[in-house]
Structure 1
Amino acid sequence: MKRSLISVVLLGICIVCSEGLFYIQKGNCNERIRTLQARKNKLTSDLNSCQTKPKPIWPIPVYPPSPQECVGAKIDLVFVLDASSSITTPNFELMRKFLHDFLSIASIDNGDVRVGLVIFSTQSHIQFNLKDYNSKSGVLNAIDNVPYKKGRTNTASGLLKMRKMFRVKFGDRRRVKNMAIVITDGVSNVNAKKTIPMARRARARGIHIYAIGIGLSKTKELNKIASRPVKKNRFTVQDFTELRTLRDKIFRSICINVNKRPKPRPQKPKPKPKPQKPDKSKCPHRCASPAQCEELNGKVFVEYPCPKGQMCCKPMP
């Protein structure tokens, strides 16, 4: 009876795996059967996982062509990224990817667009200035190497560094529009009272600021950072994975602002010329004696001076 039972077990195990014969011949059949069954389950699970396509982190977008408004548009652009502890490492990587996507349609290699980058947490750190890279590959490689600092949220310091980056010695170009994109997930908790004044000073210097808030329940500070009108320059998303949806909207807005011609100031009507008062320091006609003026049927103007014994006389026809 034992032999027939063992024969049946050997036949079943051989179907699963040839190693079964070796294990069962050494004894302890039940333990070996459980081991082989576990291996079979693991192999089945691995096979199923290989056949399942992993879900991509980013939705695969269909990129539209670069807007016509952007052709030939010259821009000096600085990104201001929040690198505080609330961001987390995976989300900081998503911000890097957003910058990659955003700059993928920027004309960097031909010199139209210059890019700088500053990050802020407890303190702010300039990663590269506008003059540092003149190729798209150089800019993208530099973005890949930007460190995640962690810390608190000192937005004011990031705005201050951004404003100072727009100087000729750091690569700022005269008569080229200055733009900044601020990305943050929180409200300032370091130098909070200085955040809005720093944004105002930057805007007063002619820097156009786009502000992007991620997962914010209160946008008061973000609204004060962005340029006017707020509705066109402040953007909010609920999650870092939604950043990509803003790329074309912001890029097109930047190009339109760059090429927008300022509205001509209404000219004040020219004042009507005031009638000139006659110069009473001399006679506009001729000075003559009373007798001569009488012979000429002249009209006398007593308000004009003449030599002694003469009068200002206008001969009449």
Structure 2
Amino acid sequence: MRISTALITLVAFVCTANALLCWECENARSNRACRLNGRLRTCQRNQRACQTEIRRDPQGIRISKRCKQARACDNNFIQNPRSAWFPSQCSTQHGSVCRCCCDFDNCNTPTVACGTRPEPTCDRPQSIVNGDVSCFGNASLPVGEQCVFECLTGYTLVGDATITCRLTTPTTAAFDRPSPTCTLTLSDEVLCRPEMVAPTFGSMDCSETNQLGSMCTFTCESGYYVAGSPTVTCGDNELWSSPPPSCQRVKCLPPIMELTNGQTSCTDSNFDRSECRLLLWHGRIKIQHLLFIKIIIEFRLSQKVGKCRDVQTLQNGNVTCTDGNFVRSQCTYECNEAELYELYPANNTLTTCMSSLVWDVEPPCCSKECPPFAAMDLVLILDSSSSVTMPNWRVMKDFVRSIITTFNFGDDSARMAVFRYNRGIDRRSQVLLRDHINNRTAFLEAYDKIPYNGFGTRTGQALRYAKNVILAQRWGNRPNVKDVLLTITDGRSQDDVATVSTELRAMGVATFVIGVALENGVGLDNEQLLSMGGSPENTMLTTGGFSGLDTTFLNRLSDLICTNRCA
């Protein structure tokens, strides 16, 4: 007997495990009364619909909700528009009866109207290790939406780069393929050959051996100087930025000459720390012992190469020097005024090489008036996280548009790139440095199409994308032009920003950041902002919200960009 009872219980469980749940009430005078006095009922196996029935009488309406066989419920529903008394069976008149159906759990509970089954969606995929994913949408993505995966530089994508949300059943959806992975590139890895080695009498420190982006720094022992570039970088063309330097002995210039009436004796020629003894003759008789005149000259290192920095080449201008870059030489400078170039600083028209082996004033350069002219590659990074909101996004885009229109585009002027980020990078709408070269109108047309959506604030990821992709030479970055990067954000980054910001400045990139806070910096991390800007001058904060991005703020930013026109 006990065995039979247990068996019956098991069978009953199996039969009701997947049963539909519907709200049940009878003749309630309002939907609220139906919810207060009704209950959620587990339907029988053959009852695959939830029905709501509304009858009208002189006192108002009477609402009944129940489980129903699907076909029977559909047959009731199609009677609604058919003729009965005036005007139809289902109307707003006395005696009317309206019925509707739905077919998912609890669908007839909220209102007197039957619920509509929500459209199936796919959960947004997570970012992949050593890579990222871009999707248009938040946590739930509609059927047909695509997500695109990319790997960081030095990693290879294994699998399909694009996955699509597809219907799997009439009520469920899933991506049509699994997310790919990123593996370290081996045979096709970008490497610069040959590998750098430390010079004789010196040392070397490389960030990533000879891989893409690796920076090698060279130093020399005391008494030696770095002949060549002290830093070299592995570029995406698999070439080092310059040949490896060597360590050469420091010489004092000019060398001691032989005396007409005397003798010169040096311990180590004219190299650093050498001591020279001069013996002077009186007529033909050598003064010896206590009577001879003895002069000891000790040479010490004052500059690496013993003379002032060479300034005899002036781009877009001419230099005239009295004695090259030797001590006491004077140089005058002039620029090609016909091409609108002018000296900067304007008053530095004459420089003199001092005995300390430095110029008395900083030698000028030839540049055009800034703004509107600025020889730079400018990268604009816009935070499009959910905290920004659409109204503020429009304000920010108007402000950035005013930055773009402040500067001229041209071979001797600006190139620009812009992209937005949130949890991921929007590569679909990005505008690269190589796009619309010398055509500001076309650039603005592409810029105006950049949309707003997303959630999350991974600013560090955006900065690294700018470093590894946007500022790569193959995407339009000019090797001999100043790089400038501006980030605008209204929130605390969810990843590290300090490391990549330091790496950008080590590459020579001028980094600026604008932090937008609604009330006295709320929501921002001032330490993060300072690490991104690199200095208080390059770190700007507006506490009045996005409305603070006005003309005054624009002028301040353009002054900062134009501060060092000779960079």
TM-score by length of 1: 0.57
CA deviations over 1:40-79 (Å, ceiling 9, x no partner) = xxxxxxxxxxxxxxxxxxxxxxxxxxx9344643110000
**Cross-structure match for 2:480:** 175
Higher relative contact order (CA 8 A, sep 6+): 1
**1:132-162 CA distance string (max 9 Å, x none):** 0121111211121101132100001110111
Q: Distance in 1 between matches of 2:528 and 2:566?
A: 27
Q: 1:219 aligned to 520, 526, 543, which one?
A: 526
**1:87 and 2:87 equivalent?**
no
Q: Which residue of 2 aligns with 1:130?
A: 433
Which residue number corresponds to residue 141 of structure 1?
A: 445
Aligned 8 A contact 1:118 1:161 in 2: no
Indicate the SS of the match to 1:117: strand
Structure 2 equivalent of residue 13 of structure 1 = none
| Structure exhibiting the larger radius of gyration computed from Cα positions | 1
Q: Give the Cα separation in 1 of the matches to 2:398 and 2:410.
A: 20
CA–CA distance in structure 2, aligned partners of residues 71 and 120 of structure 1? 28
1: CA distance between counterparts of 2:566 and 2:536?
Answer: 18
Moved runs in structure 1, 4+ residues, more than 6 A? none
Structure 2 Cα separation of the partners of residues 241 and 110 of structure 1: 34
Q: State the partner residue of 1:117.
A: 418
Q: Which residue of 1 aligns with 2:178?
A: none
2: CA distance, partners of 1:208 / 1:222 = 14
Confirm whether residue 242 of structure 1 aligns to residue 544 of structure 2: no
| Correspondence 1:209 to 2:514 | no
Which of 489, 500, 507 is the aligned partner of 1:198?
Answer: 500
CA distance in 1, matches of 2:502, 2:384: 22
Q: State the identity %.
A: 25
Alignment partners' CA distance in 2, 1:158 and 1:235: 19
Post-superposition Cα deviations, 1:183-206, rounded to whole Å, max 9, x if no partner, equal 0000012xx2x2211111111111
Distance in 2, matches of 1:71 and 1:137, equals 15
CA-to-aligned-CA distance 1:206-252 (integer Å, 9 cap, x gap): 1111010000334110011113xx22101011210111231111112
Cα RMSD, aligned residues only: 1.7
Assess if the C-alpha contact under 8 Å between 1:91 and 1:240 holds in 2. yes
Q: Distance in 2 between matches of 1:160 and 1:72?
A: 28
1:166 aligns with 2:468: no
Partner of 2:98: none
SS at match of 1:231: coil
Unmatched tracts of structure 2, length 5 or more: 1-367
Measure, in 2, the Cα distance between the counterparts of 1:256 and 1:125: 32
- Structure-1 residue corresponding to 2:135: none
Distance 1:118 1:160 in 2: 13
Corresponding residue number in structure 2 for 1:186 = 491
More moved, 144-153 vs 175-184: 144-153
Q: Quick one: distance in 1 between partners of 2:401 and 2:386?
A: 22
The alpha-carbon deviation at position 111 of structure 1 amounts to: 5.5
The whole-number CA distance in structure 2 between the counterparts of 1:147 and 1:179 is 24
Cα distance, 1:124 vs structure 2: 1.5
Q: Distance in 1 between matches of 2:503 and 2:476?
A: 20
Secondary structure at 1:104 match in 2: helix
Unaligned 5+ segments in structure 1 are 1-66, 262-317
1:182 alignment partner, SS class: strand
Which of the residues 448, 458, 463 maps onto 1:154?
458
> What one-letter code is carried by the residue in structure 2 that aligns with 1:242?
G
Q: Is the 8 A contact 2:457 2:493 kept in 1?
A: yes
Q: 2:561 corresponds to which residue?
A: 254
1:247 aligned partner, one-letter code: L
| Structure with greater helix share of residues | 1
Question: Aligned partners of 1:109 and 1:138: how far apart in 2?
Answer: 13
Report how far residue 128 of structure 1 moved.
Answer: 1.2
The amino acid across from 1:149 in the alignment is N
Of Structure 1 and Structure 2, the greater strand share is in: 2
Q: Displacement, 1:125? A: 2.4
